[in-house]
Structure 1
Amino acid sequence: MGQMKGKDRWNDLIELGMYVLAGCCFVYFLVRGNGTKMFQAVLIVAVLQLIRLLVKWTKTTMFTSLRFCVLLFIFVTMFIANEFGFYGVIPYLDKIEHLFSGVILCFIGLLIYSKAAHHQEGTEPPSSKVAVWLCFFFSVAMASVWEIYEFATDHLFGLNSQNGSLLDTMTDIICGTSGAILTACYLAMKARRKTLPLVDVR
């Protein structure tokens, strides 16, 4: 328990650093007169606050691994990719983001299963095997849902999220699925050692 609190303090420091970095970016781009980048800095703070409000509203305890992955995902997608404009610098940055999303969605699936299982009074403890399979399938399904969303917005609003390419779509799904597979394997090992977060193993 003390180790978990120690790790969560690291997450607190990471989040605090992101607020400071967003503030520095806002001031820098204010001086340069770049309104778009200023808005992105504000959006980063808004997203961080929205996550906190969502966690508080749902009365959910976000375990350490999930929180770290979410913060890392926000840093890569919103700071590295958008605020600093590294899409054209780092090869396959978009695919790295989809890989990360597979990891995060797998943890979210575990959180959903765990929360639902513990709300059913008088039932058996949640099964770690079911939890791992559910979070894996949840992650893969959501990767496909995201591509459906991109396909719909591209055709309805004339966007180019999928680069008009089936190859881009399938590669994104494969990256998301790969992230889900890696995370499911990690969770399966945790379950075997009876250290799967928030789930009573049996």
Structure 2
Amino acid sequence: MKYLKRKVIILLSVVFILLMSALFVYYLIKGDSSRWQVALGGILVSGLPLLLIFKKKNPFNLPIIIGYYMLIFCTLFLGSIASFYLHYKWWDSTIHILKGMYVAFVGITLFKLFIPKDVRNDASRWILFLFVLSLSVLASALWEIYEFVGDQTFTHTMQRGGNTDTMYDLLCGFAGGLLVSFYAFVRKPKV
């Protein structure tokens, strides 16, 4: 399984880096500053999982690794470059729900990774619920800060709806995190 995860990470990273590099060059030549910046960011975030290869034990399972690349594809390529955010009003909220769910699943993995098994077994289901939900809400808030800073410095397309868009995105991220938090709550045995 270790080698399969390593191969999947390398394959998906290379495919995404090549795709985003080609888009970067294409939109740079075309003079589309908004899209080449997104493609440049895509190159960077596509390569991040390669750092996991150097760990002796990768704590993330295949669905989390593949989910990461699906979110990159849906957010950067479909959302920004293919303009799904502009053409489909439901796209933004759907992505925020999925991001909230994804970060919550990562939170479950981190809980298992950093909390010793005997402590985990004695921890209340509410501790896990609150940890997973808090991590998901934090990620949603950080994303909205990123969108705000991006609009103030580089582009003016991330928060077209202003405060309404921000609050709606935060609520969607919260909803996604809440769903997975309930899942974690139900799955964890009672203490």
TM-score by length of 2: 0.69
Instruction: Tell me which stretches of 4 or more aligned residues in structure 1 moved more than 6 Å.
Output: 4-12
Counterparts in 2 of 1:167 and 1:42: CA distance versus 1, 3 Å: closer
Counterparts in 2 of 1:146 and 1:27: CA distance versus 1, 3 Å: closer
Residue-by-residue CA offset, 1:56-89 (whole Å, 9 max, x unaligned): 4696522223222211110011111222233222
Q: Which runs of 5+ in 2 are unaligned?
A: none
The one of 69, 72, 80 equivalent to 1:71 is 69
Pairwise mapping of residues 24-63 of structure 1 onto structure 2 (< 5 A)?
Answer: 24-26=22-24, 28-29=26-27, 33-34=30-31, 36=33, 37-38=35-36, 40-53=38-51, 56=54, 60-63=58-61
Equivalents in 1 of 2:100, 2:39: separation in Å?
25
Equivalents in 2 of 1:80, 1:187: separation in Å?
30
* Preserved contact between residue 148 and residue 158 of structure 2 (Cα < 8 Å): no
Counterpart check, 1:105 vs 2:99: no
Equivalents in 2 of 1:163, 1:27: separation in Å?
27
Residue-by-residue CA offset, 1:137-174 (whole Å, 9 max, x unaligned): 22124323444x26974897696754464432221111
For residue 118 of structure 2, what is the aligned residue in structure 1? 124
Counterpart check, 1:133 vs 2:127: no
Counterparts in 2 of 1:131 and 1:159: CA distance versus 1, 3 Å: same
Q: Give the number of the structure whose residues are more often helix, by fraction.
A: 2
Counterparts in 2 of 1:48 and 1:175: CA distance versus 1, 3 Å: same
The one of 128, 140, 144 equivalent to 1:143 is 140
